[in-house]
Structures are given as structure tokens and as C-alpha cells.
Structure 1
Amino acid sequence: MSNPLTIKLAGFANFTPEDAEALDRLCRNIFTVRGGRDLIRIGDRPEQVFLLLDGWACRYKDLPDGRRQILAYLIPGDLCDPHIFIFEEMDHSIRALGDARVAAIPKQVILDLTERYPALARGFWWSALVDEAISREWLVNVAQRDSYTRMAHLFCEMWLRMCQVGLAKNGTFDLPLTQEQLGDTLGITPIHVNRVLQRMRAEGLLSLCRRKMTIHDIEALQDAAEFDPRYLHLDARVEA
């Protein structure tokens, strides 16, 4: 399996070699976007879908007073909304967090792929449903959990998602997020983010060094997060 999208979607459907080759052909038009640059801006009318191959990105919306809410994180293997070209214009923006490698896929290629390869269409469908489930869980996280629990929950989720595409090893994975970005995700101030991180370090749950996180006790972190991974549907493989 030669790209992270193949690895990810293989968790939702059983692929033939032809299916995998078709996914690999999506990665023809590859470019690098610098950290802090937008892939898509609110109001854009996209004609292509972006596939993240390396690096992270986020969906976000800015408020008139300058505040920002991060709505989702995109990691390698994630499509930046495979159905966005259905809408007349974008209702949110997508920004690279650090340098990222991205494949640009024309919308007609996506449509042809789903028509010709039923297993891939099913994989895209499962992936979209999981994205919706993650959005629901993020809503519960911000609205109902305290800051310590919601941060632990986010870290558990990102660890599992990175594991899913083979990018976590022995509890260590890239986490290219600033304290300000964590605050914009969790609805707390950067100062409070720092306090919660210090508490987690002191409890021996995790450590952060050079944009990498190491979870030292995943079971304890999951307990602190009240984490139930069913919404990620990691065992959702179905027959093609």
C-alpha cells in the first residue's frame, strides 16, 4: 500500500489490487503547501479535492472579532471533503499546519472512481460517515466536558487516527500544534492549555518535545478522557 489514503480506506472495505492501483493513480498532481497557508478559503468554489499525503491541516472558521474555532484536524490519508464540489462555495477554510504534501484531484476523477470501483465508493462513504461522527464527538467534547477531559479526549483520538495510517509508534506521533491552536480547538485560553499540559506531564500521562507527543500510559489517558473509541469505527471493514 503506497499512500496513506489506501491504508485508511482499507480499514473500511476489502480492496483488490486494481482498487489499490486506482487509489495510487490519484497521487499524480502533488505539490507542497507551506505552513500557515490556506488550501481552501471560505467563499471559494473548488473544482478539485485535496488529499493530504504528509503533514497536518485543519478546518476552521474565523469570527468577526478575530477569534478562531478549529473544527477538525486533517492528517495523512484524509481527503479535504471529497464532496465539497457539490456546494456552490465553501463555508469554512482549510489551512496547512506546518509544511504539507498534498495531491490535487479533479472532481471528475473522484466521480469516475466511485462509479467504476464499488469498493472504493464504499470506502469513501465509510470515511465520510466517520468524519461526521468525529464532528459530533467534538461538539460533545467542547460543550459538555471539562478542559482536562476534553484535551485528553482529543489526544486519544489523534493517537488512534495516526495509528490507523501507520504514523504512530510506541505511543509517539507527530503533533504539530501550538498551545494557541489547541485553545482554538478546545475553547480555552492558551494559558489554560499550558496548565492542563503541565498537569498531564506531572501525572506521567504524556510528554511533548519538538512537535511530537509521546503517550506514556494510554489506558490512564483514556480513563481521564472517558474515551470510547466506537465513534471512530476502526473495525468497520465490509466485504467489497
Structure 2
Amino acid sequence: MDHVILNRAASERVRHFGPRVDIVREGDKPKDVHLILSGWACRYKQLEDGRRQVVSFFLPGDICDINVFILREMDHSIGTITPVSIADLPHEFFDHVAARHPRIVAAFWWETLVDAAIQREWTMNLGQRTALERTAHLLCEIWLRLRVAGLTRGDSCDFPLTQADLADAAGLSKVHVNRTLQELRANGLIVLKGRTLSVPDLDRLMRAGLFNPNYLHMEHEGQQLDAATTDAAVG
């Protein structure tokens, strides 16, 4: 959501977090909406015995829970993966946008609907895809989201996720994730070196993950964001 009015709001209330800390915890009273300016974060649920399920990843430019003001308390936690900078967007900001910038409101609705579509696809991942398909599918999604945000370099991108992160997102054990990554490497579908992921042939990886990018609705993103940018500039 990279446009003038968001940048203006984001510059006023910025906080910085280290890696592997919570930005907000389940049970907290929500105050602001968080815009990820830099770094990677995740939304997760955790059982009392420490078992964790990652239910989404946040990348630079993502907004966490646009409608969070409706809730009395958070029903999930948001934690950092890398060092993260966020902008806190208050309720008043959204009141102002709703009153003066209807095209930005439409862009917010678009983002909410895409988030819901991603959640449906993650449910399909956990319920129906094999371990290799789940992992390949998740890597395809992250790769495409990074590419749309201009955060890929050729066929490579930064990739700070650990095998434990992938396990928590894919509903697999770390041992199973390790085996699956080895299989993807052996088939020439990915190259993982340190904190860098390379995808030599995205089409092959998509086929391995039974990946159809339609749920990301990327064909509409530019249209929505361009409209939002224009609206903000004249507003």
C-alpha cells in the first residue's frame, strides 16, 4: 500500500523492533493498525505448551488487521522474524481516509479480500497438499509477493525464514521440512544459501506446489494502488 497519504501518516509514528519479539500479543487491547515499513513478521497462534501455528507472513508494505479496532482484545499475536520497523496508524487516520479518500478505502477493501483469499489457500495447504506441495506452494507465494513489492533480485530474494518458521506455517515437523527442502534442492527447484532463496524456474516450482496465483489477485493490485495514489495526491 505505497502511496502519498500512507507515507505521510507512516512518518509520524514509527517504532522499531528487534528480531523474534512480539509487536502485539493475544489478549492485548488493540490500539493502532500496524503498517510494516521494513522487515518480516508473522501472525501466529500458540498453545499453552508452546506449540505454534503461523497463519500468515507480513512483508514490507503489508498492513496488519485493518479492522482491528472492532475487537475488544487481540485473538492472535504478531511477532517479528527480522528487525522490523512499523508505523502505527490510529483510528483517526482511517476516519480521515473514509471521509476524504474513497479510492484508498477501496484499496483497503481489496487488501482485506486478498488476505482472506490467502487464508483460504493456507487452509487448503494444511488440509489437502502433501508436504512437498505445501512447501513449494508457500515458497511460490512468498516469492511472488516479494516480486510485486520490488524485493526480488533476478531469480533471488532475501529469505530470513528458518526451517522452524516453515514448519510452523506448513503444519510439519522441522525434520519433515528439512527432508522436503532437500528434495526441492535435489530436483533443482530451489537454491537456499544462508538467508538467500533462488528460484531458477518459477514455473516448475509452481507445478510442484500445484500453485495457481489467482488467489493473490495480482492483476488488480496496480490498478487499485494507482487509483489510491492519484486520489491521495489530489486530496
| Unmatched runs of 5 consecutive residues or more in structure 2 | 228-235
Number of matched pairs: 223
Show CA shifts across 1:63-95 (max 9, x none): 122211000000001011111111111000000
* Contact kept? 1:58, 1:96, Cα under 8 Å: yes
In the TM superposition, residue 170 of structure 1 has moved relative to its aligned partner by 1.2
Show the 5 A alignment for 1:97-116.
97-116=81-100
Following the alignment from structure 1 to structure 2, what is the Cα–Cα distance between the partners of residues 51 and 152? 27
Task: Please tell me the residue identity of whatever aligns with 1:127.
Answer: E
TM-score by length of 2: 0.92
Following the alignment from structure 1 to structure 2, what is the Cα–Cα distance between the partners of residues 141 and 187? 9
Show CA shifts across 1:125-180 (max 9, x none): 00000000000000000110000001000000001101111111212112211111
| Other-structure match for 1:212 | 196
Matching of residue 164 in structure 1 with residue 148 in structure 2:
yes
* Contact kept? 1:206, 1:213, Cα under 8 Å: yes
TM-score by length of 1: 0.90
Following the alignment from structure 1 to structure 2, what is the Cα–Cα distance between the partners of residues 41 and 115? 31
Matching of residue 22 in structure 1 with residue 5 in structure 2:
yes
Give every structure 1 segment of 4 or more consecutive aligned residues whose post-TM-superposition deviation is greater than 6 Å.
none
* Contact kept? 1:115, 1:121, Cα under 8 Å: no
| Other-structure match for 2:212 | 228
| Other-structure match for 1:146 | 130
**Among candidates 154, 164, 184, match of residue 200 of structure 1:** 184
Following the alignment from structure 1 to structure 2, what is the Cα–Cα distance between the partners of residues 209 and 140? 29
Matching of residue 56 in structure 1 with residue 40 in structure 2:
yes
| Other-structure match for 1:34 | 18
Following the alignment from structure 1 to structure 2, what is the Cα–Cα distance between the partners of residues 171 and 126? 28
Following the alignment from structure 1 to structure 2, what is the Cα–Cα distance between the partners of residues 76 and 34? 15
* Contact kept? 1:60, 1:72, Cα under 8 Å: yes
**Among candidates 72, 77, 94, match of residue 61 of structure 2:** 77
Task: Please tell me the residue identity of whatever aligns with 1:26.
Answer: A
Matching of residue 43 in structure 1 with residue 11 in structure 2:
no
CA-based RMSD of the aligned residues comes to 1.2
In the TM superposition, residue 56 of structure 1 has moved relative to its aligned partner by 0.5
Matching of residue 182 in structure 1 with residue 175 in structure 2:
no
Following the alignment from structure 1 to structure 2, what is the Cα–Cα distance between the partners of residues 115 and 191? 52
Percent identity of the aligned residues?
42
Show CA shifts across 1:170-224 (max 9, x none): 1211221111111111111101111111111111111112212111111110110
| Unmatched runs of 5 consecutive residues or more in structure 1 | 7-19
